[in-house]
Structure 1
C-alpha cells in the first residue's frame, strides 16, 4: 500500500471583501480518523474524493456512502465527519473558503448544508479542474483575488448542476422549490404550493421529500435560517428586523428556530462570526 501524505498547497488570510480562499491541499491515501466530537468548521469547504471509498456523516442527513467522483461541500457550523472506513484509505483534493460571496451562494441554495454531496463525471476532468485550482499560487493583488473568487463560485455552481446519484427533480417539484425559496417573508400555504405544482398535497409532500431529502416546510425553514446567517454576518440589522424580514412571528420565534437549526443563538452566532 502506498504511504499516506497530506500536502497543504496554499494558505491566504488576506482575501477581499468578497471573501478568501483560506487553504487548499491534497490528501493521498489518507487513513480513517474519527474526531470526537464531530468536526465543526468556521469556513466552507469543498472536498473531491478521487480514490477509495468511505462515508459522510452529519446530524441532518445521517450517513451517506462516498465513492470516487463524489464532491462533499461542508458549511460553517455544521458538525460532521467524513473519511474511509477503519483500515481503509482514500485520496482527496480540498478547498477551504469563506466570505460574503459564499454566504450568498448558501442563501441561493448552491451551498446547502442539507444536501452536501454531488457525484461529478467524468472524474478525470473534474479532478484536473479542482487540482489546478488547488495547486496554483494564490494571486497577490486584489483584482486577481476577486477574479479567482468568482472562478471558485462558478466551480461551485457547476458542481451543483451535477446530480448523477439522485432521483431527477420533476418540473412540479422544481417549481415548488423556487416558490419555497423565494419571498421568505411571505406566509405560504403549502397546499396552495402543491396545487401550483399540479399535485395533490400528500403526493406533493412525498415526492418533494424523495427528490429533495426533506419536507417542504423544513426546506423553507432552512432557507430562512440560511438567509438569517448571512444577515447576521453581513449586516448590522437587529434581530427583530431580521425576524420580520424573514417571516418569523417575532424575535423570540426567530431565536428559537435559529437555535434549533444552527445549534447556537443568533446573538452567539453573530458574536462568534465577528471575531473571524
Structure 2
C-alpha cells in the first residue's frame, strides 16, 4: 500500500523516492497521526477523504479537509492526521533533488504556506494514481521520467491552488455534495439551487472550475470510494457495486478499469491491506 525506495539504490540526483495510498487512517488508531516528524526530503500529501489538522512551528495548527494538500519540506518538523476526526484517506509522494529545491526558490512552493487547496480535481487524482502505480512497478529505467512527472505534478498542484476563482467556496461545497450518497441518483437541480445557481449555469461554472461536468465528477468520486473499499475491506465486487449505485459488478469493473487502468481485483491485490507497507 505504501512503499519507499531503498535510499542506497535511489538516483543521486532529483528523484521520486516514495509513493503510496493510505485509506481510512482513523483517529481510533494511536499511530494514525504523523507527529513531530522531520523528513530529509520533500513530500506532498493529498487528502482525498475526511479531515483533521496540520501543524508546524511556523504556522501553528490549522484544519485540513478533503481537497487540501500538504507540502512537507526537508528539515521542517511537522504533524498531521485525523486526530479529532473520524476519517482520513490520502495519497502521498516523497521526492528530493535540485529541481524541487528550485520550485521552492522560485516561490511556487512556500514553507510559510504548507497547506494549499487545489480541490478534489480528477486530473490531479489520476496523475497521482498513475505516479504511484508506476513507482511501485520498480522499473529503474523510469527513474528520470518519474522525477520529471513528480516535478510537473507538484507544479500543477500549486497552479490549481493559485487559480481558485471567486466561486471556489461554492464549487467546493458542490464537490463535497457530489461525493455523498453515491448509491442514489444525482438531483442536479437541487444541488444547483443549494449554491444559488440554475442547473445549466451550474454545469457551465462547475465544468469551467473543475475541468469536467458534475456527472463525470460524481462518477470519479464513485471510483475513489471503490478504491477505498477495495483496499480496506473484503467485500465482494457485487456488494461494492451495489453500495456505489452500479447496476451490476460487470459494469462497475469495466468502468473501474477504464478510469484506473487496473481491474478491481488487481487493485485489491496491489493496494489492499494484504499488500503490506
Per the shorter chain, which TM-score range?
A: 0.5 to 0.7
Q: 1:139: how far off?
A: 3.0
Whether the 8 Å contact between 2:50 and 2:88 is mirrored in structure 1 is yes
2:127 to 121, 126, 129: 129
With over 3 angstroms needed to count, the CA separation of the structure-2 counterparts of 1:9 and 1:131, relative to structure 1, is farther
- Unpaired segments ≥5 residues, structure 2: 167-277
Taking structure 2 as the reference length, the TM-score comes to 0.52
1:216-237 alpha-carbon deviations (Å, 9 max, x no partner): xxxxxxxxxxxxxxxxxxxxxx
Q: What residue in structure 1 maps to residue 13 of structure 2?
A: 18
Question: Aligned equivalents of 1:124 and 1:68: distance in 2?
Answer: 13
Q: What residue in structure 1 maps to residue 45 of structure 2?
A: 47
1:31-82 alpha-carbon deviations (Å, 9 max, x no partner): 234555x111111110010000111111111112111111111001111111
Taking structure 1 as the reference length, the TM-score comes to 0.52
Q: What residue in structure 2 maps to residue 116 of structure 1?
A: 114
With over 3 angstroms needed to count, the CA separation of the structure-2 counterparts of 1:28 and 1:165, relative to structure 1, is farther
- Unpaired segments ≥5 residues, structure 1: 1-6, 169-276
Q: 1:124: how far off?
A: 3.0
Question: Aligned equivalents of 1:133 and 1:58: distance in 2?
Answer: 27
Q: 1:86: how far off?
A: 3.3
1:154 to 148, 152, 155: 152
1:64 to 45, 62, 71: 62
Q: 1:16: how far off?
A: 3.1
With over 3 angstroms needed to count, the CA separation of the structure-2 counterparts of 1:62 and 1:128, relative to structure 1, is same
Q: What residue in structure 2 maps to residue 81 of structure 1?
A: 79
RMSD of aligned C-alpha atoms?
2.4
